[in-house]
């Protein structure tokens, strides 16, 4: 903590500590109330890593909410995202906005976990694409978007899991898992995204399966398209999951839980691709708790190998 001069160091330290604790509590409140899937994994972590993860999630949630806020026009959304970009720049310069609990918490977490702050800016870039209504012609273009909005979060997570010591290979694996989870999100949320005027599935793939207009296409053709994209997501999971082997037990358990929840959603999509056109697929709280508990056991077995 920062220490003052002329005998006032203890008071300054205590004030700073209270501010940081308040900031983390606010981030944890946001995470508990809004992280429908991620919190089941986050709560498996020790306190300090859990707090840092909540700080990263709270920032990601705020940026994502700006992109999804139908109450603002496009210009207002882009202005709000520009402010978040300025906040990231201030954080990187060592001058976080002290009136923002999320910035205070991220600055504190960055001291201990060497967060890849460029990932925060990349996340904003991805959400800006949502706001302007970007289309994706090819799968490679879609993967690039997924790296922005989810691979970036994966890199933040692995920095925290590894106490800031993750190497480039671990970051690549985390990025791959982020892509896998985002592809699963896209398949799960086809109806909701359509209502927002967004179509993420690549135009080339939709043309290939005769589904240029998803909601006017033959249901069997749509199911075949969804099955094809779901199999791709499964391949990205297979690419990224070896990251578990590089982590300590509790971090591995957290990662297994988060990936496991999305993996089970993907399994349901693969089993019945057409169901995504009827609305969002989700797991019950009991199922999520079971996945989290099972993840702890699986990670323990991996540690014993």
Closest residue by Cα to residue 235 from 170, 298, 177: 177
Which pLDDT score, from 0 to 100, does residue 133 have?
Answer: 86
Query: How far is Cα 214 from Cα 226, in angstroms, rounded to an integer?
Result: 10
Which pLDDT score, from 0 to 100, does residue 13 have?
Answer: 52
Closest residue by Cα to residue 129 from 144, 119, 118, 140: 144
Q: Please state, in angstroms and as integers, the Cα–Cα distance from residue 85 to each residue in 77, 125, 126, following that order.
A: 12, 9, 12
Vertex 158: Cα angle to 201 and 53 (nearest 5): 90
Q: Please state, in angstroms and as integers, the Cα–Cα distance from residue 170 to each residue in 120, 200, 299, following that order.
A: 18, 27, 17
pTM over 0.85? The answer is yes
Q: Are 177 and 243 in contact (CB under 8 A)?
A: yes
Closest residue by Cα to residue 110 from 42, 164, 48: 164
Place of tokens 């019950």: 284
Closest residue by Cα to residue 263 from 162, 157, 180, 174: 180
Place of tokens 């991805």: 126
**Residues near 155 by Cβ (< 8 Å), separated by ≥ 6?**
116, 119, 171, 174, 175, 178
pLDDT digit string (tens) for the chain, length 305 residues: 332 334 444 433 544 788 999 999 999 999 999 887 788 889 889 999 999 999 999 999 999 999 987 667 899 999 999 999 999 999 999 999 889 999 999 999 999 999 999 999 999 999 999 999 888 999 999 999 999 999 999 999 999 999 999 999 999 999 999 999 999 999 999 999 998 889 999 999 999 999 999 999 999 999 999 999 999 999 999 999 999 999 998 999 999 989 999 999 999 999 999 999 998 888 888 888 877 777 765 655 554 45
Tens-digit pLDDT profile for residues 134-164:
889 999 999 999 999 999 999 999 999 999 9
Which pLDDT score, from 0 to 100, does residue 301 have?
Answer: 52
Domains of the chain: 9-304 (1.10.600.10)
Which pLDDT score, from 0 to 100, does residue 297 have?
Answer: 58
């Amino acid at each position: 903590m920062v220490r003052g001069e002329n005998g006032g160091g203890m008071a300054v330290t205590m004030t700073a500590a209270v501010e940081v604790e308040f900031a983390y509590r606010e981030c944890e409140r946001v995470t508990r109330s809004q992280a429908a899937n991620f919190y089941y994994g986050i709560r498996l972590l020790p306190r300090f890593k859990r707090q840092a993860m909540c700080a990263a999630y709270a920032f990601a949630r705020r940026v994502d909410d700006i992109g999804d806020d139908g109450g603002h026009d496009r210009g207002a959304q882009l202005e709000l995202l520009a402010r978040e970009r300025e906040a990231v720049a201030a954080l990187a310069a060592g001058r976080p906005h002290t009136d923002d609990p999320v910035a205070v918490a991220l600055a504190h977490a960055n001291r201990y976990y060497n967060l890849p702050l460029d990932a925060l800016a990349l996340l904003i870039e991805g959400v800006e694409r949502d706001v302007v209504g970007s289309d994706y012609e090819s799968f490679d273009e879609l993967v690039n978007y997924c790296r922005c909005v989810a691979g970036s979060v994966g890199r933040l997570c692995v920095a925290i899991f590894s106490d800031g010591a993750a190497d480039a290979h671990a970051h690549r694996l985390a990025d791959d898992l982020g892509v896998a989870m985002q592809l699963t999100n896209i398949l799960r949320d086809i109806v909701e995204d359509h209502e927002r005027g967004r179509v993420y599935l690549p135009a080339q793939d939709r043309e290939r399966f005769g589904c240029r207009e998803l909601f006017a296409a033959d249901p069997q053709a749509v199911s075949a398209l969804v099955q094809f994209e779901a199999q791709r997501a499964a391949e990205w999971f297979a690419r990224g999951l070896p990251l578990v082997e590089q982590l300590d037990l509790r971090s591995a358990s957290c990662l297994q839980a988060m990936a496991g929840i999305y993996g089970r959603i993907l399994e349901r999509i693969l089993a019945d691709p057409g169901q995504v056109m009827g609305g969002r697929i989700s797991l019950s709280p009991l199922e999520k708790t079971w996945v989290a508990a099972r993840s702890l056991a699986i990670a323990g077995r991996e540690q014993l190998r």
